[in-house]
Amino acid sequence: MRQTDTRERLLAAARATVREHGLASTSRDITAAAGVNLAAITYHFGSKDELLAAALFEELHRRLSPTLELLTSGGDPITTTVTAIEALTTDFEANRKDAPVYLEALLLASRPGPFANSARKLIRSVQKRLRLQIEALVADGFAPSWTDPEAMATLFIALANGVALQASIDPRRCSPRAVAVQLAGLLASAGQPSTPRQAPAAAT
């Protein structure tokens, strides 16, 4: 078995065991799933914690990179923003079983360490691009003038993370794509002038 194959098998096994057992996964759980010996973790990653950090960062990167690419593709800001949000939530919907791995990556990102620095940098890159797109939406009149682009970008990311959690808790009743459509609709409607309601017709 080539060393690169062993490394990739360990990364895949780490994600699989986190999916089943969370961060409580043991070195033996991981090596048994990978079909390698315990020494392989030390050889390729130094420690189980470093292996988990690498595996979870790859998961975080896989989830967020397509959204970041869409947000940097240029074009109409309305279409770009909605497409990026839909792409992220659609991925969550298509890969519900992997939601625990993504959530564990977020949890690990909140703790001190090299993994946290890399993960935060990636998340901030997505947030920055979202902020720029939202600024363009405000300038074009699609979003209301009271919109705070930085806060709204944070809200979008927090919503995506919350939807991932809710989809893992109650997958039958949570559609990430439907949530994305509702969010886009709320933002769009908030920027439109309100139409006075007609008074109900008088009874005859």
Report the C-alpha gap between 57 and 36 in whole angstroms.
Answer: 22
Among 188, 41, 66, which Cα is nearest to 129's?
66
pLDDT in tens, 186-204: 766 765 554 443 433 444 4
Spatial distance between the Cα atoms of 48 and 46, rounded to a whole number of angstroms: 7
- Judge contact between 111 and 53, C-beta under 8 A: no
Tokens (6 digits) for 2: 């080539």
Of 7-16, 72-81, 91-100, 128-137, highest mean pLDDT:
7-16
Q: Residue 14's CB: how many other CB atoms inside 10 A? A: 29
pLDDT tens figures, 143-161: 788 889 999 889 888 887 8
Task: Give residue-wise pLDDT tens across range 53-96.
Answer: 899 888 888 888 888 888 887 777 777 777 777 777 777 777 77
CATH class of 1-46: mainly alpha
pLDDT, one tens digit per residue, over 91-127 is 777 777 777 888 888 888 888 877 888 888 888 998 9
This prediction's pTM? 0.69
Ordered by start, the domain boundaries in the chain are 1-46, 53-190
Q: Which CATH number is 53-190 given?
A: 1.10.357.10
Please tell me the predicted confidence (pLDDT) of residue 29. 95
Q: What percent of the chain has pLDDT over 70?
A: 87
CA dist., res. 186 & res. 183, Å (int): 5
What is the structure's pLDDT at 77?
Answer: 76
Q: How far is CA 28 from CA 14, 15, 45, 138, 165, in A?
A: 11, 14, 15, 53, 27
Mean pLDDT of 27-47: 94
